[in-house]
Amino acid sequence: MIRTCVALALLCFGATAGFTPAFAQDYPSRPVKIVVPYGVGGSADLYARFIGARLQDKLGQPFVVENRPGAGSIVGTDFVAKSPADGYTLLMMSNTHTVNETLVPKKPFELMRDLAPITAVSYSDLLMVIHPSVAAKDVKEFIALARAKPGSLNYASSGNGTPYHMAGELFKSLAGVDIVHIPHKGSDGARASILGGQVQMMFDAVPTMAANAKGGKVKALATTGKTRSAVTPELPTVAEAGVAGYESGIWLGLMAPAGTPRPVLERLNREVNGIINSADVKESWARQGTIPIGMSTDEFDRFLRAEIVKWAQVVKLSGAKTD
């Protein structure tokens, strides 16, 4: 009886071991959904559509982007976490997710338990902009204005825990100013508020805000990276402008439901990394101020865990809370 059970177990293992690579080889055999847990028009949405179109060309199946914004990425992320682990529902995620592990502890999922890393995709600096009606021509004057009128200025973000929110909270903490956070359901709404003058300040990704700044619709004060952006080399970094130690940005990555077959994750990893590391994509993204940051699945796993620790410290330092 024992020998029979062992033989059956080995037979099942052999069948499974043979099935999984074959499954990956045939993958995808039907349309794949890329869920963006943010609104239309932001960095995650734009790059998900770009990656999806390239994957569709390479793999011969539609990669359809579906926006599911809400609760600072939690609504869309929970949908993916609870989807079948078959490689047909993917998540375009960002540093929002690593922030939320501390900022929003009571979530219906845990990032590293319920989702599987595929690869990091891109990094962009943020642009600090103010509405033209604000009487400040640089970061120092904006800080002076905020200190003179504590609590009277506000800044927009695409929701609690998003890179735009944390960039603002870190700025408040390091600059010693009281500026009111106005969260929106997505970056498109936040962008509309700064363009319309309903809010005075916003941190937004360089690729999605630079054109508005160059067109005079907003006043750009600084960028948030360690060094100046190639897109706006005339602008200082926030740290150069007088807020010592300031650095922020937005990175994007892809994940899938936990339990997705490893060969499928690895195939997606190879395909996406091949796309973002191609010469034409690097050149095009560089003009937008975006850097490809492809990683192996294991490297991305380690990166995510380190980011969770890092942002836990930033949340504590800034005193950021969900509104």
Place of tokens 């360690």: 226
pLDDT per position as a tens digit, 187-242: 889 999 999 999 999 999 998 899 999 999 999 999 999 999 999 999 999 999 99
> Which range among 20-29, 125-134, 169-178, 284-293 shows the weakest confidence by mean pLDDT?
20-29
Whether 236 is in a domain gets the answer no
pLDDT of 298 > 50? The answer is: yes
256 strand-pairing partners: 116
Q: Are 117 and 255 in the same domain?
A: yes
Bond prior to 28 in cis (omega within 30° of 0) = yes
* Strand blocks (E) in 230-318: 250-257, 290-292
pLDDT of 133 > 80? The answer is: yes
Q: Are 260 and 119 in the same domain?
A: yes
Q: What residues contact residue 47 under an 8 Å CB cut-off, 6+ apart?
A: 92, 121, 122, 252, 290
pLDDT (0 to 100) of residue 72: 84
Whether 19 is in a domain gets the answer no
Q: Are 100 and 135 in the same domain?
A: no
pLDDT per position as a tens digit, 197-212: 999 999 999 988 999 9
pLDDT (0 to 100) of residue 215: 96
Q: Are 112 and 135 in the same domain?
A: no
pLDDT (0 to 100) of residue 21: 57
Over residues 83-105, the mean pLDDT reads: 95
Over residues 244-269, the mean pLDDT reads: 96
Whether 56 is in a domain gets the answer yes
pLDDT (0 to 100) of residue 245: 92
Q: Are 122 and 129 a contacting pair, CB within 8 Å?
A: no
- Residue range(s) defining the domain that contains residue 163: 126-223
Q: How far apart are CA 183 and CA 241, in angstroms?
A: 26
CA distances 81 to 77, 88, 125, 286, Å, are: 6, 12, 28, 32
The helices-and-strands tally (H runs, E runs) of the chain is 12, 11
* Full DSSP string of 96-124: HHHHHHHH--S-SS-HHHHEEEEEEEEEE
Mean pLDDT of the chain: 91
Closest CA to 300 of 115, 142, 63: 115
Taking residue 8's Cβ as centre, other Cβ atoms within 10 Å add up to 10
pLDDT of 55 > 50? The answer is: yes
Whether 228 is in a domain gets the answer no
pLDDT of 252 > 90? The answer is: yes
Q: Are 218 and 301 in the same domain?
A: no
Phi-psi region of 71 (alpha: psi -120 to 50; beta: other; left: phi over 0): left
pTM: 0.84
Over residues 248-266, the mean pLDDT reads: 97
pLDDT of 248 > 80? The answer is: yes
Q: Are 133 and 117 in the same domain?
A: no
CA 216 to chain centre: 27
pLDDT (0 to 100) of residue 10: 44
Lookup: tokens for 260:
């997705």
pLDDT of 68 > 60? The answer is: yes
- Domain with 44 in it: what CATH number? 3.40.190.150
pLDDT (0 to 100) of residue 311: 86
Phi-psi region of 57 (alpha: psi -120 to 50; beta: other; left: phi over 0): alpha
In the chain, how many domains are there?
A: 2
Over residues 115-120, the mean pLDDT reads: 98
